[in-house]
């Protein structure tokens, strides 16, 4: 029996041995949703960023990167690598099984918001070119007379291609966000405690649409509205006067307790499911008083039990 060692196998084994936990953020999502803004925010936060890395090279890149330094890494992968997308989910699973804590973040937006953005920038969608991707098994897409797919069809095709990746990622809905908000939310996301599930409490206004990234949505519009109290109209749910007004309403305390009890009951199950984030969206009419108050109070009540983040979609747009 030969005692010689296969150099290729030895190199592979040595490479595998270098794969130790490091901070890796995978940024992906729908074209036009703000992936570039998210990646730039991570770069500003000190991450070494790589855009449009082919999924087949992900593991080799991380092995090489670890040999060079211990810096934090952010990698953007999107539909421009359409032919390689089937390799991405297996690559993610393999990296996580080897102890690499890859945090996948999926940037999304409503179709209406995406159509508006593409119309404003006049940039073509990556899948609008008829030859950009072969539709084997995905049905027939309508193609415009100039040989390019209609924009909405291209967006829906992209959603189909990325659906499984979205399911295993932390989703950020940018439909109603300014770039500055997205940058701030990304900084909060990577700064959160990675040792346990993080609860995200997000306030919003129903008149601007339900956040696409919400795991649970609670409607507090049935509660007394401080907007109709002249002294409180210009304030927000963060102000003590608004808090005192809402705390004086018995139904407010009742709903708070019921929401808290529901989340607390199911939180261990989500943690066992290896979720990184659970987003609880609280909505009212204007996203200024009741929903903001609920998000603040719930975050305070859970702060000792889980890592928490607070987002105020409508208020953050004004800052």
Q: What's the pLDDT tens digit per position in 48-57?
A: 899 988 888 8
* Pick from 93-102, 103-112, 178-187: least confident: 93-102
Instruction: State how many domains the chain has.
Output: 2
Alpha helices in the chain (DSSP H): 7-17, 35-44, 58-68, 88-97, 111-121, 151-167, 179-191, 240-247, 250-272, 290-302, 313-316
Measure the CA–CA gap between 280 and 201, rounded to whole angstroms: 5
Domain match, 123 and 214 both = no
pLDDT at res. 195 = 54
Structure-token match 């005192």, residue found: 244
Indicate whether 104 pLDDT > 70.
Answer: yes
Residue ending a domain, among 191, 217, 234, is 191
Domain match, 210 and 113 both = no
pLDDT band at 63 (very low <50, low <70, confident <90, very high): confident
Domain match, 24 and 127 both = yes
Domain match, 59 and 133 both = yes
The predicted model gives 206-211 an average pLDDT of 94
Measure the CA–CA gap between 314 and 276, rounded to whole angstroms: 24
> For residue 206, how many other CB atoms are within 10 A of its CB?
16
Residue ending a domain, among 152, 175, 191, is 191
Domain match, 222 and 301 both = yes
Q: Report the candidate in 79, 73, 80 with the shortest Cα–Cα distance to residue 42.
A: 73
* Pick from 121-125, 239-243, 282-286: least confident: 121-125
Q: Does residue 10 lie within any of the structural domains? A: no
Residue ending a domain, among 128, 156, 191, is 191
- Name the average pLDDT for the chain: 83
Which of helix, strand or coil describes residue 53? coil
As to burial, measured by CB atoms within 10 angstroms (0-12 exposed, 13-18 middle, 19+ buried), residue 261 is: exposed
As to burial, measured by CB atoms within 10 angstroms (0-12 exposed, 13-18 middle, 19+ buried), residue 120 is: exposed
Domain interval for residue 294:
198-316
Q: Which helix (H) or strand (E) holds 105?
A: strand 102-108
Indicate whether 6 pLDDT > 90.
Answer: no
Domain match, 301 and 203 both = yes
Q: Does residue 57 lie within any of the structural domains? A: yes
Extract the tokens encoding 27: 């940024």
Measure the CA–CA gap between 233 and 267, rounded to whole angstroms: 35
Contacts for 292 with CB less than 8 Å, ≥ 6 apart = 203, 236, 237, 238, 312, 315
Q: Report the candidate in 294, 312, 315, 313 with the shortest Cα–Cα distance to residue 243.
A: 294
Indicate whether 310 pLDDT > 70.
Answer: yes
Domain match, 205 and 274 both = yes
Domain match, 220 and 133 both = no
Q: Are 252 and 261 in contact (CB under 8 A)?
A: no
Domain match, 20 and 104 both = yes
pTM strictly above 0.85: no
Extract the tokens encoding 240: 């003590």
As to burial, measured by CB atoms within 10 angstroms (0-12 exposed, 13-18 middle, 19+ buried), residue 224 is: middle
Percent of the chain residues past pLDDT 90, beyond the cut: 48
């Amino acid at each position: 029996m030969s005692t010689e060692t296969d150099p290729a196998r030895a190199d592979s084994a040595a490479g595998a041995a270098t794969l130790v936990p490091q901070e890796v953020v995978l940024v992906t999502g729908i074209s036009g949703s703000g992936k570039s803004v998210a990646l730039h925010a991570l770069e500003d936060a000190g991450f070494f960023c790589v855009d449009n890395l082919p999924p087949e090279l992900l593991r080799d890149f991380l092995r090489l990167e670890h040999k060079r330094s211990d810096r934090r890494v952010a990698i953007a992968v999107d539909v421009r690598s359409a032919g390689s997308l089937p390799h991405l989910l297996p690559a993610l699973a393999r990296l996580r099984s080897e102890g690499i804590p890859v945090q996948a973040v999926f940037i999304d937006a409503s179709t209406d918001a995406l159509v508006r953005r593409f119309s404003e920038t006049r940039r073509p969608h990556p899948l609008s070119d008829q030859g950009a991707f072969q539709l084997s098994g995905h049905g027939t897409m309508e193609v415009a007379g100039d040989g390019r797919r209609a924009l909405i069809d291209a967006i829906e095709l992209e959603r189909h291609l990325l659906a499984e990746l979205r399911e295993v990622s932390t989703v950020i809905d940018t439909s109603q966000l300014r770039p500055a908000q997205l940058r701030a939310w990304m900084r909060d996301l990577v700064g959160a405690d990675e040792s346990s599930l993080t609860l995200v409490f997000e306030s919003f206004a129903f008149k601007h649409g339900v956040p696409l990234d919400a795991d649970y949505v609670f409607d507090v519009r049935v509660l007394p509205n401080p907007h109709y109290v002249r002294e409180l109209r210009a304030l927000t749910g963060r102000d003590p006067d608004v808090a005192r007004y809402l705390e004086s309403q018995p139904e407010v305390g009742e709903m708070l307790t019921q929401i808290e009890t529901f989340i607390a009951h199911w939180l261990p199950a989500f943690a066992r499911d290896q979720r990184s984030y659970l987003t609880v969206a609280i909505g009212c009419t204007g996203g200024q008083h009741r929903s903001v108050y609920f998000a603040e109070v719930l975050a305070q009540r859970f702060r000792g039990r889980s890592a928490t983040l607070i987002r105020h979609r409508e208020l953050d747009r004004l800052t």
